[in-house]
Structure 1
Amino acid sequence: MSDPNPRAARLRMKMAEEGLGAVVLTHPHDVRYATGYHSILERWTQQEPFAGAIVFADEAKPAILVIPEANLGIVAVLNRDAPVCSFDEIRTFDMLNFCEVSRYVDPDRKGGQLAEDAMALAGSIRGECRGDIVAAIGAALADHGMAGKRIGFDSHRISAGIAGGLPHEFSDCLDLLMRVRVVKTAQELATYRKVGVMADRVIAHAGSLLGPGVDWNDVQAGICDFMVRNGVVPVDEGAMLFGGSYEDDEFIPDLFRTTGNRALREGDIVILETQGVLDGFWIDINRTAVVGRASEDYRRLHDILRDAFLMMVDRLRPGVSTSTLPMIGYEHLKSKGVATPEKLLVVAHGIGLMPLEIPLPFPATGLAGVKQGFVMEEDMLVSLDSLFFGAKLGPCHMENVYAVTSGAPEPMYATPLQLIETAREAEPALG
């Protein structure tokens, strides 16, 4: 058996509470959580899964990784420097004709270390290579005596696909997995601290790109380039969220990810929310910037929001519901005479393999995610997002991720919660 996997151990604990004999996971986030396995194929965003994981409630049973036979090399690469991918048994299946072609030996190609590492994994393979992932999962469950047992699935289609050959009691385990993943292991927290260091670098770079005459599209491209060169996968080609749009001289703060149609000008407000994935975990840091120098009134507004934010941060404690946080911010803005404090948007959410991890029953991203909220537990990573959509002086936004501890919350980002003011001149265009 492999070394204990603390994530799988937490999953088993929650499975016992639900009375599940096993869980079958095929969503990329769940497979990565349970085994550490991931590949470029998951970024194709196909509806059909390219990998699976089976975790049994009985610790004596093996943790099973289900992958295309041709992807053994990917596992070897993942585990080259450290045991990133954890499993006790591998089940394989054919993916298109990749696996079929890879079985032919090319006499003109010399095998290297990667080929040796991949072949070494062959000893973990059980059973024959099946024609598809459903057949491979069904065979693995049958071989381990799961017929007639209660099994959790994160995809009903997998359950339906094996039902004819392996009768079982289906249980939807999506909500279970969210409750499992939202509390982090010590290893995950250590990884996110490293992610936080990169997040600070990304937001600093974003601020350095701003200045009068700068094109917003160039800013986004510059941030995207910086991320990619530092191992961060941007949220998309825009690399970040933009909290508003300039339409001629009017700033519309309620729009996100809208294309800027003019160069930045002195006094423009820019919401910098850089988002991307590093080592499987999401960066989600937000600061407000002003091109040039901010007015004293706007600086005061930012400081009021920052103080409200810090009051909410102090409530990120075990046993406290996230539903109590928005009122703290609202009351502070109201007490300081800020117009329409109702325009303050506050969301506290878990973060990890997904940017929004809310441990509430599906669907969790509706109003209940804020109004009902969830009770925080020690070792949760909570992202506190505070955005004021003010119209008189302009919007103001800040967001940080914190680890919930037995005492004060631990910030994952070190970038100060202060207004970014910049006056960098635009560089001359090339050509």
Structure 2
Amino acid sequence: MTATTNPRAERLRAMMGAEGLDAVVLSHPHDVRYAVGYHSILERWGQMEPMAAAIVYADPDLPLTLVIPEANLGLVAVLNKDGDECTFGEVRTFEMLNFCEVSRYLDPDRKTGKLGEDAMAMVGAIRGECQPDIASAVAAALADRGMANRRVGFDEHRLSARIRDAVPHEFVDVLDFMMRVRVVKTDGELARYRKVGKLADRIITFAGSVLHEGADWNDVQAKICDFMVRNDTIPVDEGGMLFGGSYEADEFIPDLFRTRGNRELRRGDIVILETQGIHDGFWVDINRTAIIGPPSAEYQRQHDILRDAFVKMVDTLRPGMSTADLPAIGYEHLKANGVATPEKLLVVAHGIGLMPLEIPLAYPAAGLAGVKQGFVLEEGMLLSLDSLYFGAKVGPCHMENVYAITSGAPEPMYDTPLELIVAPLAAKATAGETEPAE
């Protein structure tokens, strides 16, 4: 149950040396999942207070520590049923409301099953007493491992403040540091994302298959959400796509960030298909443009110019180049080919993984710095290249792909062609609408 190797934790530990950190205490759900693989439904509640933590020590002889509610030991067994998804050297437990207290009472009428046996097998990994809360559990672990008066990084300053009296330490904010750690993927993470890419291709193909003249926009989104859920993908929310919707009774705006529609799709409508969701903890983020019925020659030409600009940008993706150089490449191509107002081209290059935007810059990275300053590519990064032309003359064109940065040409994670999707004018049933889940 407690794997001896964890490449993600090893990468984190290796980078801690340059920061002079003796330990890092991680309680943000993404950082906990990165370090030890642990995740639960509790993190989806969106609580302000963390429900789990992970402690990584610079000293490789000290154990990778998982801090969870005692009642969730069974969940770790579930995570590890088919392999070592959750890896740790020791477990520190704490109470969560009175769930743990109640779970200690044995039901004489219930026989112990395999899950109970596997959960009990982890008892040997538990160190110390069950503490009244997560802060007390973290403090006990740090004290036991000699971290008093040491340099300790936290991704949540409240946790540091809460335990300072019990375990005096030098506080270091490691939110930006953790982004730099996570943005370069391990071989195992890249293998996982290749599977995500195959699923993304299926989702975008399905999304295109349910478009047709007369289709209801809200129904289209509901069908995509259903398809995603049936294929083990959590939609970004109640809608399956980021763009499109209605504002006035007779108006469909392809670039309106997901708004409910109130009319059927018509011939000539442009639909932006950016399907977003989470599979195996990683974000699906693929973007293509569709049109209802045959496009005009002018619109098809514009789309193809944008596609060629996109390919030009992709061809430059190599270790050592800066993402800040990409927008100019796209702009110059559009300008040279006579596209109206090429300044309306928005190019965003960002890391992707446990979050849709992973930008290894100091906070706040989601401002202009994320594009104007950019960041230098490293081998092993997953880069999402998003190209959005908000053209007004014949309409917008968008496309987005994810690439693994290698020592040579970038490896595409999605195989769906960068071509305009042409939806039929007449409504028709498709195999995709009833395609069984895999």
Residue 216 of structure 1: aligned partner: 217
Could you state the TM-score of these two structures normalised by the residue count of structure 1?
0.98
Q: Structure 1: which 5+ residue stretches go unaligned?
A: none
- Are the counterparts in 2 of residues 240 and 274 from structure 1 also a CA contact under 8 Å? yes
> CA-to-partner distance for each residue in 1:399-418, whole Å, 9 max, x for gaps?
00000000000000000000
Residue 18 of structure 2: aligned partner: 17
**Aligned AA for 1:74?**
L
| 1:326 correspondence with 2:327 | yes
Alignment of 1:18-33 (within 5 A): 18-33=19-34
**Aligned AA for 2:83?**
A
Residue 14 of structure 1: CA displacement? 1.2
> CA-to-partner distance for each residue in 1:317-345, whole Å, 9 max, x for gaps?
10000000000000000001111000000
SS in structure 1 at match of 2:278: strand
**Aligned AA for 2:9?**
A
Residue 129 of structure 1: aligned partner: 130
Residue 337 of structure 2: aligned partner: 336
**Aligned AA for 2:204?**
I
Greater alpha carbon shift after TM alignment, 141-150 vs 240-249: 240-249
Distance in 2 (CA, whole Å) between partners of 1:248 and 1:391 is 21
- Are the counterparts in 1 of residues 213 and 265 from structure 2 also a CA contact under 8 Å? yes
> CA-to-partner distance for each residue in 1:366-408, whole Å, 9 max, x for gaps?
0100000000000100000000000110000000000000000
Q: Structure 2: which 5+ residue stretches go unaligned?
A: 430-438
- Are the counterparts in 1 of residues 66 and 88 from structure 2 also a CA contact under 8 Å? yes
Distance in 2 (CA, whole Å) between partners of 1:246 and 1:156 is 42
Distance in 1 (CA, whole Å) between partners of 2:263 and 2:245 is 13
Residue 387 of structure 1: aligned partner: 388
- Are the counterparts in 2 of residues 294 and 421 from structure 1 also a CA contact under 8 Å? yes
Residue 316 of structure 1: CA displacement? 1.0
SS in structure 2 at match of 1:242: coil
- Are the counterparts in 1 of residues 270 and 291 from structure 2 also a CA contact under 8 Å? yes
SS in structure 2 at match of 1:194: helix
> CA-to-partner distance for each residue in 1:290-329, whole Å, 9 max, x for gaps?
0111111100000000000000001111000000000000
Distance 1:64 1:186, change over 3 A: same
Distance in 2 (CA, whole Å) between partners of 1:178 and 1:84 is 21
Residue 6 of structure 1: aligned partner: 7
Distance 1:119 1:424, change over 3 A: farther
- Are the counterparts in 1 of residues 250 and 263 from structure 2 also a CA contact under 8 Å? no
- Are the counterparts in 2 of residues 245 and 256 from structure 1 also a CA contact under 8 Å? no
Residue 418 of structure 1: aligned partner: 419
Residue 286 of structure 1: aligned partner: 287
Distance in 2 (CA, whole Å) between partners of 1:77 and 1:22 is 28
- Are the counterparts in 2 of residues 22 and 151 from structure 1 also a CA contact under 8 Å? yes
Greater alpha carbon shift after TM alignment, 107-116 vs 419-428: 419-428
- Are the counterparts in 1 of residues 24 and 55 from structure 2 also a CA contact under 8 Å? yes
| 1:55 correspondence with 2:88 | no
Alignment of 1:31-430 (within 5 A): 31-243=32-244, 245=246, 247-423=248-424, 425-426=426-427
Distance 1:113 1:424, change over 3 A: farther
Distance in 1 (CA, whole Å) between partners of 2:241 and 2:71 is 35
Distance in 1 (CA, whole Å) between partners of 2:352 and 2:150 is 33
SS in structure 2 at match of 1:217: helix
Distance in 1 (CA, whole Å) between partners of 2:251 and 2:296 is 17
SS in structure 1 at match of 2:361: coil
SS in structure 1 at match of 2:220: helix
Residue 4 of structure 1: CA displacement? 1.6
Distance 1:251 1:106, change over 3 A: closer
- Are the counterparts in 1 of residues 254 and 270 from structure 2 also a CA contact under 8 Å? no
Residue 434 of structure 2: aligned partner: none
Distance in 1 (CA, whole Å) between partners of 2:217 and 2:208 is 12
Q: How many residues align?
A: 428
Residue 249 of structure 1: CA displacement? 5.0
Distance in 2 (CA, whole Å) between partners of 1:416 and 1:86 is 38
> CA-to-partner distance for each residue in 1:82-117, whole Å, 9 max, x for gaps?
100000000000001000000000000111000000
Residue 426 of structure 1: CA displacement? 3.6
Distance in 2 (CA, whole Å) between partners of 1:418 and 1:161 is 54
**Aligned AA for 1:187?**
G
> CA-to-partner distance for each residue in 1:341-378, whole Å, 9 max, x for gaps?
00000000000000000000011000100000000000
- Are the counterparts in 2 of residues 274 and 286 from structure 1 also a CA contact under 8 Å? yes
- Are the counterparts in 1 of residues 254 and 271 from structure 2 also a CA contact under 8 Å? no
Pairwise CA RMSD: 1.2
**Aligned AA for 1:143?**
D
Distance 1:24 1:30, change over 3 A: same
Distance in 2 (CA, whole Å) between partners of 1:258 and 1:82 is 41
**Aligned AA for 2:366?**
T
> CA-to-partner distance for each residue in 1:9-61, whole Å, 9 max, x for gaps?
11011110100000000000000000000011100010101100000000000
Distance in 2 (CA, whole Å) between partners of 1:47 and 1:343 is 38
Residue 240 of structure 1: CA displacement? 1.7
SS in structure 2 at match of 1:320: coil
Residue 247 of structure 1: CA displacement? 3.8
SS in structure 1 at match of 2:117: helix
Distance in 2 (CA, whole Å) between partners of 1:387 and 1:363 is 23
